[in-house]
Amino acid sequence: MGPKAPAPPKPTRARRRPAVIALGLALVAVGILASVSLTTMLGQTRQVLAVTRDIDRGEQITASDLAPVDLPTGPTLLEPVDASALEDVAGQFADVNLLEGSLLTAGSYVTELEPAAGRSIVGIALSPHQMPAGTTLHAGDPVRIIETPVSGGDAPVEEPFAIPAVVVSLERADVGDQTVVDVEVARNQAAALAARAATGRVALVLDAAASEGEAAPGGDAATGGDAATGGNSQSGGNSQSGGNSQTGGNSQTGGNSQTGGNSQTGGNPGNGDTGAGNGGASTDGNG
């Protein structure tokens, strides 16, 4: 008999790893839950306000300019205004140009435009020696922009040109050590300030805040102040000295005292004292 054939090898049984199976089942469950959650989230919407026509900056927004639209709920970089705020937004002013079909965001409208009617904002580049060094300027500070003489020149004999203003914002210039200060002034003074600021011969002076009942800096009262200089027309009130032409009536001293008395009639009531004096001169003339 020949040799026995070797017995076939026994098949090896694969080992089951319960931990791997459990991990796989957990991943499947998480995937299912994420899909359900995403589907539910995409199915939920909220109503926000959209613009129904092109609105230019400065225009007043009306209720008919806006309409509610559905926006899917979820994370977004936008800050759309909820449709429930429609009544609050109506009557506000567009702070930027709003295009038809765009969503209205919280920063696209304001209660009051800046600058307000009759006001202007002028930017002035100032070096450190042209503004207070030990005090930090803030928006809302009352200031004056004063025209200065040429470098090395003599100080002005008369009071220098000055424009009252209010600080709006400050920003460091990209080049050099200058600071760009935006100030708000009366509209009729904006051109004069811009022209002087372009020469670089200006300085900023920080003033104390206006007390109650005091005119706010940068107000139109400053322009009216020019009218006050015109108030020197009160010196034209020296035309009352023209009333001294009644003294010319003294030339009538040689004439009838009654004629001189007529000078009292022709005299201004306010100059009655002068007229009386003239009348006295007439009496002396009769003497």
22-33 pLDDT, tens digit per residue, is 888 888 888 888
The pLDDT, as a whole number, for residue 122 is 93
The pLDDT, as a whole number, for residue 203 is 93
Tokens of 105: 């965001």
The pLDDT, as a whole number, for residue 112 is 79
The pLDDT, as a whole number, for residue 252 is 38
Q: Return d(Cα 185, Cα 192) in angstroms, integer.
A: 11
Q: Return d(Cα 104, Cα 78) in angstroms, integer.
A: 9
From residue 175, alpha-carbon distances to 125, 159, 171, 172 in Å are: 11, 33, 12, 9
The pLDDT, as a whole number, for residue 87 is 92
From residue 96, alpha-carbon distances to 54, 77, 104, 169 in Å are: 11, 18, 11, 19
Provide the mean pLDDT of the chain: 73
Answer whether 202's CB lies under 8 Å from 148's CB. yes
The pLDDT, as a whole number, for residue 176 is 81
Q: Return d(Cα 145, Cα 126) in angstroms, integer.
A: 11
The pLDDT, as a whole number, for residue 43 is 62
Q: Are strands 179-186 and 119-126 parallel, antiparallel or unpaired?
A: antiparallel
The pLDDT, as a whole number, for residue 256 is 40
Residues of the chain with CATH 3.90.1210.10: 45-110
Q: 78: part of which helix (H) or strand (E)?
A: none
Q: Return d(Cα 158, Cα 280) in angstroms, integer.
A: 45
CATH architecture of 45-110: Alpha-Beta Complex (3.90)
The pLDDT, as a whole number, for residue 264 is 41
- Bridge partners of 120? 185
Answer whether 162's CB lies under 8 Å from 192's CB. no
The pLDDT, as a whole number, for residue 229 is 36
The pLDDT, as a whole number, for residue 106 is 87
Intervals of the chain under pLDDT 70: 1-16, 39-43, 74-76, 210-287
The pLDDT, as a whole number, for residue 274 is 38
The pLDDT, as a whole number, for residue 101 is 92
The pLDDT, as a whole number, for residue 7 is 66
Q: Return d(Cα 44, Cα 74) in angstroms, integer.
A: 9
